[in-house]
Amino acid sequence: MKYTTLILLFSGLIITSCHHTAEQNPADIKPVATVDYTTIATRPMEEQTKLTATSVYLKRSQVIAPIAGFITHVYTKYGDAVQKGQVLFEIETKERSAIGNDGLSGDNMLNNFGKISIKAPTSGMVTIIDRQQIGEYVMEGNPLCTIVQNNDLAFQLNMPYEFHNSAERNRNCLLVLPDGSKLNATIVKPLTTLNAIDQTQAYLLKPSKNIFLPEGLVASVLLTTNSRQHAQVLPKTAVLSDALLQHFWVMKLANDTTAIKLPVMIGMRNKDNVEIISPAFSSTDRILTEGNYGLSDTALVKIKKR
């Protein structure tokens, strides 16, 4: 009986001690995170989409052999800049080749018999050399080389058809080249071609100045696909989401030590900001931008000193 009494007294002391510890725990709870906050901004906002455009030369001239004969001289090579009227090739007919220069040397009137100089029809750059071997026989109409007019550079933009209404809004746009340089351009017209698989429509962009760029160069184009003059805007760091990006929320300060979870509906997004469609915030609402990740629905916080 004596042992039973001692056990009961000892159990009572333990329960009393635990009860006091439980009462003291709330006072010992400390903020889980040091946080910083911002307030809602109401201002114009744009949503942009990055697309790609490829450089093309719209005008190209193919130099062809006007007669059948043997190539005797080649005065150009791939990548050469040529001027209109510049001699590119010389060809001699098979008749002249059969007679030979010795057979024609005695008659000045026949010096140029069967000898043809082929000149550049336009100024530009040689991008294709089809024939370059001296002594090679070519038929009439065979291509010799191709010249592109480097003052007629354009970019072909493949725009998803869902954005085709944005073409007029983005008539003046900016091309960003792979080296980081930028080039102003204008969307001049849509083409009739549509990629059936990607559902993209081709548009031609004309650079604002004539420069030489290699054909096939891929540049980036930023197009504004949506805009609003009076949007509720928060920094991206203020808006949290689940792994599937289906639900979004912010952590709002209820007071100086407590943050609560508040679901939001978002609209436009860009690299820095997010539009909040609902709820409507007031200019005094404080939304966490730092220390908000991983906080529970209601969390104790400590505001970072400013």
Q: In sequence order, what are the residues at sequence separation of 6 or more whose Cβ sits closer than 8 angstroms to the Cβ of residue 112? A: none
The last residue of one of the domains, among 148, 164, 190, is 148
**How far, in Å, CA of 280 to CA of 79, rounded?**
61
Overall domain count for the chain: 3
Which CATH number does the domain housing residue 191 bear?
A: 2.40.30.170
- pLDDT tens-digit map of 60-78: 889 999 999 999 999 998 8
- pLDDT tens-digit map of 276-294: 999 999 999 999 999 999 8
Amino acid at 275: E
Residue 4 belongs to some domain of the structure? no
The last residue of one of the domains, among 187, 205, 227, is 227
The last residue of one of the domains, among 171, 202, 227, is 227
- pLDDT tens-digit map of 109-119: 556 667 889 99
Above 60 in pLDDT, residue 52?
yes
**How far, in Å, CA of 96 to CA of 182, rounded?**
55
Looking at per-residue pLDDT, the higher value among 189 and 98 belongs to 189
Amino acid at 73: H
- pLDDT tens-digit map of 183-224: 899 888 888 878 888 888 889 999 988 787 888 899 999 888
Q: Which pLDDT does position 47 carry in this prediction? A: 85
